[in-house]
Structure formats: structure tokens, C-alpha cells
Structure 1
Amino acid sequence: MARAVALATAVVSLLLAAFARPSVRSSVREVPITAAGPAPAVEQFAAVLGQRLPDGFGITEVADTAAAAERLIRDREVYGAIDLGSGAPRVITASGASVAVAQTLDGVAAGLGQAPGPGAGPAVRDHVPLPAGDPRGAGLAAGALPLVMGGLLAALGLTRLVRCGARRVAGAVAFAVTGGLATVAVPRFWLGSLDGSAWTDGGAIALTLVATSLRVLGLESLLGPVGFGLGAAVMMLVGNPLSGTAIAPGMPPGWSGALGHLLPLGSGGRLPRSTAFFDGHGASRPAAVLAGRLTLGVAVALVGGLRARARARPVDEGTAAVAVAVDGPAVPAAA
């Protein structure tokens, strides 16, 4: 009993650390933004921002008007902009990319409004807003865990019911298609969290589901139940808390942000934002990560299936030989 209690205590502590640390320690770290306006004004703004938020933002300077900065936002190259070329500074946010970064830029705007200068302070404009039905993006943020659980449940069902590796892969793909289309209906038509094409958003979710389930299926086919447990633990303890679905890639502490966005759920959280709010801009990198995970999962699942069949064949042949030796060869019945 003491061992069970100690193990349960360790698991609870590990879960708390895995889920709480990224949220508690997250802050802006080299989040890319742009500043438009004359070079002296941009340099002065960068110096002031560097004092208030050291290493918080990576500033790209554009000498053109705010239109150039807005184009960078739409292309998902930056998360916001400061327009310094029209008198009083103007802050341009994109809550569709990250609510957390948009709120931080709102704070920057408030700080600029307190600085001496002409005008009543900077205006704040959301260039890529979230839908009116979900202005805080809560539906997208809460969708990470269901995607993990859906992929794990699909992998569990396929490992229990299907032995052939190729049929497992086909089953995972079929589940991803139906699950993606069914899942996108909730945030789009009920919660109002997505406003892009239902087919495109559903495809993005389906790619996440199939990459998740095939990763676990591949590990299970090679390592058995241990592989399934390992895959589930990585998804739950690493992939989910480090996915950063509610924040920006540079906000989780240390190396965890980069790692999280190389995992299926991290890329899966970024991809629907690109398809729903940015006309597909910025979708290539997360789609490539998911496609790579998908390809690797298919290969490992097929190889594991072939190895399992090769191990089972000698056993089956040996069983048949024993049966013949004991019962004798089969004799056709007399007519």
C-alpha cells in the first residue's frame, strides 16, 4: 500500500509541475513585432521598450506607413505593430494570433500614453480580431486537451480491435477525417470560436488528430503496451502543457516553447489560427511539422506491424506442426 500511495503522490506532483510551470513562468520573450516610422522615432521607441520589457520583443523596422506593418501581421511574420509615423503612436494588435500578446501590447499602449508628447495618447486597433462569439479565444485554448484525448482514444481502440498495421493506419486516417469535421462544428457553429472555412479548419484539426494517433500507434507497434503508455505520457505531460495554444511560441520558459511547437499539439494549435484568421498565411511550418509526424507515424506503425507478423508466423507454423504430429494427417472422408 505504501508503494501505491508514494507512486500516486509522485504522479500528482509531476502532473501539477508539468501543467502549471509553463503557465506560471510564461512571459514575452523575443516575440516578433514591427515598428513603422522614421528611424529616430523607432530607435527611441525600441530603447524605451527595452527598458520596460527587457528581451520581451524582437522589433523589425519598416520605414513605410502602417500598411507595411499590417501586411507583416497578415502574413504572420509579426504579432503586432507600433505605428510611429503619424504623430501620436498607434498600436496595432492581432488577437487572432495571440490574445496574450495583444494584451501585452495593450499595456505597452498604456505606457506610451503616459509618456510626454502631443495628443491624447496612442490608439489601439485590433487588425485581426477574434470572432465576436469568442472574443477571448477561450474555445481555441480549451480545445488542446480534447484533441489529445481524441487521438489517444483512437489509438487505444485501434490497438485493441485491429492487428494489421496497414488497417490501423487506415483506421486512424478515417477517424481523423470524421473526427476533424465533427470537432470543428463545435467551435465554429456552436461556440463561435472559428470563422474560416469549415472544410479548411476541419482539415487542420484532422491533420492534428491523425498525427497524434499515429505517433502513439507507432510506438505501440514497436514496444507493445509500454509504447502506448510512453506515447500517452509524452502527449499529456509534455505536448499538452507546452503546446502554447493560448499564447505565442516565445512565451513558454526556456527551451519548452520551441519544443512544444515541434510536437503535434503545438503545431495543431497554431494551424487552425492560420486557416481561420489569416487566410492560410503562416500555415506552412505547422503543416510541415504535422506532415512529418504523420509520415513518421505511418512508417513506424507499418514496420511494427510487419515485425509482429514475422514473430507470429513461426509460432503459428510450430502450432500447426504439433497438431499434425499429435492428430496425424487429415484423411479425406469416404464418399
Structure 2
Amino acid sequence: MRKVIGAIVGVTLLGLLFAASFLGAFSKPAPHGVPVGVVGPAPVVEQLSATLAKVKPGAFELTGYASAETARQALLDRELDAVLDPQAGKLVVASAAGRTGANVITAAFQGAAQAQGRPLTVEDAAPTAPADAGGIAGMFFTLSLVIPGVALAVLLFQLAPRLGFGARTGALALGALVAGSATAWLAHSVFEVLPGDYWALAAISSGLVLTIALVGSGLVKLLGPGGVGLAALLFVVVGVPASGGPLGARYIPEWYATIGHYLPVGPGAEAIRNVVFFDGAALAWPLTVLGVWALVGLVLLALPGRGRAAAEPQPAGRGSIQPSATAR
């Protein structure tokens, strides 16, 4: 009976942990520090900044641009989330960077324009795919890469506990390439929710799976079964909501967004978004984060640990003598 009660309590606590993490990140979304370019001289930018600060303090960071073309290019380079041209009465957004964010920006600036009695047209310079009208495919696609990454790490230790460093790393790389490429093909060619360059999408997807698998394998080797829970906590329970999900990092609590900035899930999702919709712009930080985490995983795999002993099946025969299961 105690075991039954313990299982019920454990499952309940697990559910509460997931709910607290996801709902805490995604409930009551509010913008903070959203970069918006304004076409016009400094006095116009300063006046608009002061007006917005009274309505939504800290929500937007305005930067002046001399021309609409320069500002638009900054938007496509992922330096801005929107461009406002007061003289032309035009707001340019990029819903592929986050539909919720584009809607929030549109509502804020249309409200300001209406208060001044000015018309404001809206243009979407980088829309989401027609098959992804809700703009949520990116979050679920990223999750479909994170979970196989953790599973690949665990299964390899269970099925091949005696693999050495080189063989295990090679197996993880092969598994990540197959899983990432196949998942990218499904999203790109079958469901058509992530259009653009398939090979770039497959490369980033495989890289994210490999990063998660390397770190997961290192944690399992170092901590045994406890490493599985730690990997799931880092990359699923915390990593997915801290990435901003369908809202974007600028619309969840700032402390959570800061954590997500340094975990691989958020930068991985950003890299996927940038290669699909923005011609590979702003990849330096996401690839750096993935590379650092992959290196951490390699270091953990190179350390002596107890993962093999924990994952290795126990002998069935009586009186048999087993070789040492110490992890290399």
C-alpha cells in the first residue's frame, strides 16, 4: 500500500512540476524590451518612446533608422521585431519570429495610432507557412527533437552498455543525423509547416538532437538512472517553456527567458526559425550555445562514471561470475 501511495504522490508531484513550469512561463504574457525600429529623426523616436513608456513601461525599445529599407533589413537580420514608419503610416512585423509577439506589437502601435487619429497599415515581412496558421509548429517541432535526443542517450546505454567513448559518440552522431533528418523531412515536405532550405533545417535539427543526446549520455554515465531525470528536467521541464515556446522569449518572465537563453532548447528553436524563415540570419549565438553544450556532453562522456553499471542488465544464471562493469 505504501508503494501505491508513493506512486500516486510521485505522479502528482511530477504533474505539478510540469504545470508550474509551463503555466508559469506562458500565463499572462507581457512584452519586455521588444526591439522596434522607427524610421525618422531622433526627436520623433524620443517622443514615441515617451508615449509608449507611459502606456507600457519597459515593453519596447525603440531605435531610430534613417530609411525604411535599412530598418526593414535589420528586421530580416533578426535585429528588430518590427519596424514603424510614422510618415508612411506603416508597421512592418515578422510573424515567423513569433505570431503572438507580432499580434502584441500590432495591437500596441495600432492603438497609439488610433489615439492620434492616424491610420496605420500592417505588413508581414516574414509570415509563417500557410499550413501553420497558428504559428505553433515550431515549438512542437523542437519538442519532437528534444525527446528523441534524451531517448537516444538512454537507449544506447541500455542496449549497448559496453560501448567505448569513440563508438558511443559515433552511434549518437548517427542516430542524431537519422532522427533529425527524418523529422525535418516530415515537417518540411509532408506537413509543409517549415518551408525553405531542407538541408539547412536537417542540419540544425540533427545538431540539436546530437547536443541533447551527448549531454544526456554524459549525465547517465556520470549519475546512472538519476541522469535521465536530470536531462529531462533540464531540457523538457525547464528548457521548453524557458525557450518562450510559441510566445517568444520576450513575452515570458524575464528571469525565465534568461535561463532559456543559455539552455540549448531555446537557441536551437531560434536557429531552426532563422534558417527556415530568415535565410540563416543571426545564427552565431544559437550555434555557439549548442556547441558549448555538445562539448560539455563530450567531457562528461570522457569522465569515469557509473552509467554502464547502472544500465547494464543483471545476469540470470546462478553463481556466474560477471566482469567488472565500471564505466570507462
Matched with 1:127 is: 125
Q: Which residue of 2 aligns with 1:144?
A: 142
Q: Which among 58, 61, 64 is matched to residue 58 of structure 1?
A: 61
Partner of 1:76: 78
Percent of aligned positions that are identical: 29
Q: 1:299 to 1:306 in 2, by over 3 A?
A: farther
1:10-38 CA-to-partner distances (Å, cap 9, x unmatched) read 22222211111100043211121211112
Q: CA deviation at 1:271?
A: 0.5
Q: 1:12 and 2:15 equivalent?
A: yes
Q: Residue in 1 aligned with 2:43? A: 40
Kept in 2: contact 1:218–1:301 (CA 8 A): yes
Letter in 2 for 1:14: L
Aligned residues: 308
Q: What does the per-residue CA deviation read over 1:68-104, in whole Å, with 9 as the maximum and x for residues that have no partner?
A: 11011111111111112xx353111011212121111
Q: Which residue of 2 aligns with 1:243?
A: 243
Aligned residue identity for 1:129 = P
| Unmatched segments (≥5 aa) in structure 2 | 310-320, 324-328
1:1-335 matched pairs, under 5 angstroms: 1-62=4-65, 64-84=66-86, 87-117=87-117, 121-163=119-161, 164-166=163-165, 167-304=167-304
Alpha-carbon shift at residue 172 of structure 1 (Å): 1.1
The alignment partner of 1:54 has SS state of coil
2:279 alignment partner, SS class: coil
Contact kept, 8 Å, 1:165 with 1:304, in 2: the verdict is no
Secondary structure of 2:83's counterpart equals strand
TM-score, structure 1 normalization: 0.86
Quote the offset at 1:222 in angstroms: 1.0
Moved more, 130-139 or 73-82: 130-139
Q: Within 2, Cα distance between the matches of 1:111 and 1:304? A: 60
The answer on whether the counterparts of 2:224 and 2:308 sit within 8 Å (CA) in structure 1 is no
Cα distance in 2 between the residues matched to 1:136 and 1:69: 26
Could you report, residue by residue, the CA deviation over 1:162-206 in whole angstroms, capped at 9, with x for unpaired residues? 232422211111111111110111221122222221100110111
Who is 1:325 aligned against?
none
Check the 8 A contact 1:211/1:293 in 2, yes or no.
Answer: yes
Contact 1:165 1:301 in 2 (8 A): no
Q: What is the deviation of 1:147? A: 1.7
Query: For residues 220 and 44 of structure 1, do their structure 2 counterparts lie closer, same or farther at Cα, with a shift above 3 Å needed?
Result: same
Calculate the aligned-residue CA RMSD, in Å: 2.3
**1:100 and 1:14 mapped to 2: Cα distance?**
25
Deviations 1:26-71 (A, max 9, x none): 3211121211112222222112211221111111222x12111101
Q: How far apart, CA to CA, are the structure 1 residues paired with 2:94 and 2:289?
A: 24
Give the unaligned 5+ runs of structure 1.
Answer: 310-318, 322-335
Offset of 1:246 from its aligned partner?
Answer: 1.6
Report the CA distance between 1:302 and its aligned residue.
Answer: 2.3
Partners of 2:229 and 2:95 in 1: CA distance? 37
Q: Is the 8 A contact 1:79 1:98 kept in 2?
A: no
CA distance in structure 1 between the aligned counterparts of 2:6 and 2:278, rounded to whole angstroms: 52
Give the Cα–Cα distance (whole angstroms) in 1 for the partners of residues 67 and 76 of structure 2. 15
> What is the distance in 2 between the residues matched to 1:6 and 1:157?
27
TM normalised by structure 2 equals: 0.87
Question: Offset at 1:307?
Answer: 9.8
Q: Given the superposition, is the C-alpha separation of residues 112 and 320 from structure 1 closer, same or farther in structure 2, using an over 3 Å criterion?
A: closer
Amino acid at match of 2:187: P
CA distance in structure 2 between the aligned counterparts of 1:250 and 1:165, rounded to whole angstroms: 42
